[in-house]
Amino acid sequence: MSKSWSKTTRYFVLGIVIILLVWFLVAANGLIGPLAIAAMLAYVLNPMVSLVNSRTKLPRNWVVLLVYLTSLATIVTLGIIFVPIIPAQTALFLEELQIIQSELEAALPSAISVAGFRISLSGIFSGLPGVSTNFFRPDTDVILLALQAATTNLGWILVILVTTYYLLQDWPIFREWILGWAPDEYEYDARRLYYEIRNVWQRYLRGQLRLMFMVGVLTGLGSAAIGLPGALAFGVLAGLFDVVLSVGPAIVMVVAALVALYSGSTFLVIHPVWFMVLVLAVFGGIQGIENIWLRPRIMGQTLHIHPAVLFVAVIGSLALGGVLVALIIIPVLGSAGILGRYLYCKILDLEPWPDLTAVVDDGMGDAMVGREETAVSSTTTTKTGKLVQPKEHIR
């Protein structure tokens, strides 16, 4: 039998492990972003994998491969369709801006008088920085720059793709491996915390889907009301891209502005420039309604967090951490609340879960925590009527 370590040795080794873990996180800081993106992609695709797996009874490996390749093919197809037209459309947009600038220079007087003071307007546009449209044309230099950037980021793209695939395929194995590190007397606590945190992220996904639907409907109706060509398509795009906070809506807004500038309204008699301003106002107003009112309220009701806290968290994370942090800050807050409540109860020697609950199979190859009215004593009841001890493994 191996000799036990003394308490001093155990604490010393634990301190060394913590120091090495912190050093690794600092040294591998650049890897955190790609791994977080891969985890988010796997999290979004996992419900689809579970649904197909439960309906078709195919092996999970085959379902993961099917869903993964289908999603990848969709992304590549959209890139092939839209990426080649971006440089040419951007160049045309900049040319239009230069024409508008020239027209304004010709229309404005050389000077104006205000309260007896003469103000010269001749240099108001000369100080503006010029923008070369040649950079946005699909010439050889641009292609070389694009190839260089693609080569630089190829490693991170491969990390994201491979990590996403293996997270989808082997997450049940990873989950049991992680939970298996908990001591026997805390195994039920570890599983219970995992299932509650997982439910927070599932509720967040459902709330995000509600937001995407509402934003898509508002954008489609608003675009149709002002006569924007392709109103239905913009509604769909706005709903899909809403998952990427700020960046996604901004992309859709820019595309809508370009369409408004080149095509004009289908029934409003208005100059294309002013129609573009109207489109920007409508899209910006919808985003304001979502970020100030809809998102805090829907996510607050879904995750039981006050809307003001969610609003401050989203805006603060956008300002301090960027889009990736803002994308996950809401479920992270919910998860931190669960962990904080558990630690609070343990520190004060209280029962973290005073109500008896059951760890039950959700029918999708995973388990969840749900309240059961028929739970008795130290046992719990599954949906199938089977009594399960609190520490029993649910496979």
For 172-205, write each residue's pLDDT tens digit.
Answer: 888 899 988 888 888 899 999 999 999 998 888 8
Predicted model pTM: 0.67
Instruction: Indicate the range of 83-92, 123-132, 167-176, 352-361 predicted with least confidence.
Output: 123-132
Question: What's the whole-number average pLDDT of the chain?
Answer: 77
Residue 221 near residue 289 (C-beta atoms within 8 A): no
Average pLDDT of the segment spanning 40-61: 85
Residue 205 near residue 47 (C-beta atoms within 8 A): yes
Long-range (24+ apart) CB contacts under 8 A made by 22-25 are none
Is 131's pLDDT higher than 50?
A: no
Residue 331: exposure state from Cβ atoms within 10 A (0-12, 13-18, ≥19): buried
- Which range has highest mean pLDDT (22-31, 68-77, 221-230)? 221-230
Tell me the C-alpha distance between 318 and 336, whole Å.
Answer: 19
Instruction: Name the maximum alpha-carbon separation found in the chain.
Output: 99
What are 2-24's pLDDT values in tens digits? Answer: 788 888 898 999 999 999 999 98
Helices (H) and strands (E) in the chain, counts: 12, 6
What is residue 125's predicted lDDT score, i.e. its pLDDT?
A: 52
Is 327's pLDDT higher than 90?
A: no
What is residue 280's predicted lDDT score, i.e. its pLDDT?
A: 93
Backbone angles phi, psi at 324, to 5 degrees: -60, -40
Is 278's pLDDT higher than 50?
A: yes
Question: With pLDDT > 90 as the criterion, what percentage of the chain qualifies?
Answer: 15
**Nearest C-alpha neighbor of 234 from the set 216, 246, 250, 211:** 216
Average pLDDT of the segment spanning 41-47: 84
What are 198-233's pLDDT values in tens digits? Answer: 999 888 888 888 899 999 999 999 999 999 988 988
Local structure of residue 269 (DSSP, 8 states): -
**Nearest C-alpha neighbor of 171 from the set 393, 366, 368, 370:** 366
Q: Which pair of tokens denotes residue 272? A: 């294309």
Is 28's pLDDT higher than 90?
A: no
Average pLDDT of the segment spanning 265-278: 88
Average pLDDT of the segment spanning 69-86: 80
What is residue 84's predicted lDDT score, i.e. its pLDDT?
A: 74
Q: What are the angstrom distances between the C-alpha of 367 and each of 4, 48, 91, 362, 371?
A: 36, 16, 53, 6, 13
Is 364's pLDDT higher than 50?
A: no
Q: Which residues in the chain belong to E strands, given as ranges?
A: 111-114, 117-120, 357-361, 367-371, 380-381, 387-388
Is 100's pLDDT higher than 50?
A: yes
What is residue 4's predicted lDDT score, i.e. its pLDDT?
A: 82
What is residue 385's predicted lDDT score, i.e. its pLDDT?
A: 39
Instruction: Indicate the range of 13-22, 109-118, 380-389 predicted with least confidence.
Output: 380-389
Residues 6 or more apart whose Cβ sits within 8 Å of residue 143? none
Question: With pLDDT > 70 as the criterion, what percentage of the chain qualifies?
Answer: 72
Residue 117 banded pLDDT, cuts 50, 70, 90:
low
Average pLDDT of the segment spanning 261-288: 89
With vertex at residue 18, the alpha carbon angle to CA 13 and CA 24, rounded to the nearest 5 degrees, is: 125
Residue 265 near residue 95 (C-beta atoms within 8 A): no
Beta bridge partners of 119: 112
- Which range has highest mean pLDDT (47-61, 149-163, 223-237, 242-256)? 223-237
Three-class DSSP category at 371: strand
Alpha helices, DSSP H only, in 227-306? 231-241, 247-263, 272-289, 295-303
Residue 359 near residue 380 (C-beta atoms within 8 A): yes
Number of residues assigned to the chain: 395
